[in-house]
Amino acid sequence: MNLEKIKQIQLNDGSFGPFHSMSYNSTFTTEKVLRRLMFLEIDKSNEVLYKILNYVEACLNRKIIIPDRVEKVIQWDNFIDLMFSSWLTIFDFPSEKKDLIKEKWANLITQSITNFGFDYDLYKDNYQKTFGKLQGKRVLDPTNFYVVTLVKDMLPIDKSSLYFDYILEKGIYYIYSDSLLIRPNDFNSNKTMYYLYALKLAATYKKDSLFLKEIEKWILSYRSQDGYWRLNKINTDGILFPQSGSWRSKINKLNDLKKYLESILNSIRS
């Protein structure tokens, strides 16, 4: 899924039909395109992305209603507010409503962390104080992709460190749902590449982590002397890879893996 193809199928309103990737069994959704552009590290000044973000902001303000099926097991309006705000935050797109939602979620996460760590029961109570009684609906996962990307740099340092520990324990739903404390068995796999991206997101919450230092050593142990990672089992999926041209050219694959893994290393070192 390259930028030219994305541009060709973009609708006039900036969307790609359904929004949430889990809502429809569709090759393209607006969110899948956003994920692709996130992994490609495309800037909001890009014409295609800017048009999508304007659409997302309009959806957040309910000027546009997405065509997705309403999920009745959760508080739908709260979920889509979180989802839209997260994507606007990822690409640093201005929105007053987004800022209010960020503050609300940051307060919720902060208030759910005690001196002993993140308290899920306390979170569930605080969630209902913030968003209203559940009435049989599920609370949203406190370490899902949207929450983790939304409240970074908004928690007090001590709370941020404890939230990091909880993220490692639970994983990041929508990116890597298993515990991040347990490494995948095979480094040479697409699953591991998403595992590392989850750690990149988690790393924004804690500096000087001994666990991340061990992950750094693990990544470097697979690097060849010439600075490349030769990982023959990793395939293109149209979302994370490829990041440049076709992988029919071996040098494109080598360069993509090098760029990606060096980006991970920079994130977990900082």
Q: Note whether 106 and 158 are same-domain residues.
A: yes
Count Cβ atoms below 10 Å from residue 71 Cβ, excluding itself.
15
DSSP H helical ranges for 112-209: 120-131, 145-150, 157-170, 190-202
- In the predicted model, is pLDDT for residue 84 greater than 60? yes
Q: Note whether 154 and 241 are same-domain residues.
A: no
Q: Take residue 108 and report the two structure tokens written for it.
A: 């919720």
Spell 97-121 as b/e; 16+ CB within 10 A means b.
ebeebbebbbebbbbbbeeeebbee
pLDDT of residue 245: 86
Q: Note whether 82 and 172 are same-domain residues.
A: yes
Confidence of residue 25 (pLDDT cuts 50, 70, 90): low
Share of the chain above pLDDT 90, in %: 93
In the chain, the amino acid numbered 37 is L
pLDDT of residue 16: 96
Question: Domain boundary at 180, 206, 222, which?
Answer: 180
Phi-psi map region of 227: left, alpha, beta (phi>0 left; psi -120 to 50 alpha): left
Question: Domain boundary at 180, 211, 226, which?
Answer: 180
Beta bridge partners of 114: 117
pLDDT digits (tens, 9 = 90+) for 205-232: 998 899 999 999 999 999 999 999 999 9
What pTM value is reported for the model? Answer: 0.95
Q: Note whether 98 and 57 are same-domain residues.
A: no
pLDDT digits (tens, 9 = 90+) for 151-164: 999 999 999 999 99
Confidence of residue 23 (pLDDT cuts 50, 70, 90): very low
Q: Note whether 76 and 171 are same-domain residues.
A: yes
Q: Take residue 199 and report the two structure tokens written for it.
A: 């750690």
Q: Note whether 46 and 90 are same-domain residues.
A: no
Structural domain span for residue 268: 183-270
